[in-house]
């Protein structure tokens, strides 16, 4: 049994946690899981079946039929799917259905990796509460809206900054106030505000926060690996 090193990254919508998680994973050679993609895939399934994302039976059916091969499908990045994902994510049975997959990924990362970087809303609080390194990422709503605007532009979708501020803040409010696994900073997570940081500066700041913690446990993970 190896001792996987988990870096948990939670944060508000479009705060840049996905980019940071991918870069940290590449830096350490760890596996990366974008847990938001799971909820987005469930939402896409509900939308494609023309059902109601707030309806437990509809959402649960989609969660049971989740197609992970579509995680790279640009369709899941649309704001319609984003809003629906927040609705399915508030349903406890949906979260329960996705829990084991995420915990297994944390414990036994694919590709024989020594560790995993997982980003989402409840990684440091629920999925991997024992993770040695945790970040809570945030940025001002106008900054996040502009980042999302550029991302959507790349997909040929044009949205006003004001609309996006409204959408992101409404989704954050829903994610923070739901009774099950709400978005919140774990007590042992480091806060990283990326409002005034470009991608490289944000990555450097993230690395400075997590590297002492990762270094501490990486040694024992390596020893376990050689013993096992
Ligand atoms: O990319 P963005 O930050 O806008 O969102 P995402 O990380 O893809 O997550 C989409 C939605 O899924 C969030 O608004 C949450 O409602 C939900 N989610 C969650 O509840 N728990 C997670 N671990 C990840 C996402």
Place of tokens 């079946």: 49
Ligand 1 atom nearest to CA at 10: 23
What is residue 123's DSSP assignment? I
What is residue 70's DSSP assignment? G
The phi, psi pair for 82, rounded to 5°, reads -60, -45
Per-residue pLDDT of the chain (228 residues; tens, 9 = 90+): 457 999 999 999 999 999 999 999 999 999 999 999 999 999 999 999 999 999 999 999 999 999 999 999 989 988 899 999 999 999 999 999 999 999 999 999 999 999 999 999 999 999 999 999 999 999 999 999 999 999 889 888 899 999 999 999 999 999 999 999 999 999 999 999 999 999 999 999 999 999 999 999 988 888 888 776
CA distance 77 to 28: 26
Nearest C-alpha to atom 5 of ligand 1 is from which residue? Answer: 13
CA distance 180 to 91: 8
Nearest C-alpha to atom 25 of ligand 1 is from which residue? Answer: 36
Ligand 1 binding pocket mutation candidate from 9, 13, 43, 177 (most atoms within 8 A of CB): 13
CA 209 distance to own-chain centroid: 18
């Amino acid at each position: 049994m190896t001792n996987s090193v988990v870096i948990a990254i939670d944060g508000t919508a479009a705060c840049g946690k996905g980019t940071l998680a991918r870069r940290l994973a590449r830096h350490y050679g760890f596996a990366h899981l974008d847990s938001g993609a799971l909820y987005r895939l469930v939402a896409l399934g509900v939308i494609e079946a023309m059902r109601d994302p707030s309806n437990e039976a509809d959402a649960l059916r989609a969660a049971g039929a989740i197609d992970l091969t579509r995680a790279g499908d640009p369709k899941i990045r649309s704001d319609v799917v984003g809003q629906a994902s927040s609705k399915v994510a508030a349903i406890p049975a949906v979260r329960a259905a996705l829990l084991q997959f995420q915990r297994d990924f944390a414990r036994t990362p694919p590709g024989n990796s020594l560790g995993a970087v997982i980003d989402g809303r409840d990684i440091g609080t629920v999925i991997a509460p024992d993770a040695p390194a945790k970040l809570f990422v945030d940025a001002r709503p106008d900054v996040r809206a502009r980042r999302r605007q550029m991302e959507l532009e790349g997909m040929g979708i044009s949205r006003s900054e004001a609309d996006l501020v409204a959408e992101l803040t409404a989704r954050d409010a829903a994610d923070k106030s739901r009774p099950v696994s709400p978005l919140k900073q774990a007590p042992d997570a480091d806060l990283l505000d990326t409002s005034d940081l470009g991608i490289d500066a944000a990555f450097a700041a993230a690395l400075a926060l997590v590297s002492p913690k990762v270094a501490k446990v990486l040694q024992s993970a390596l020893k376990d690996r050689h013993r096992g």
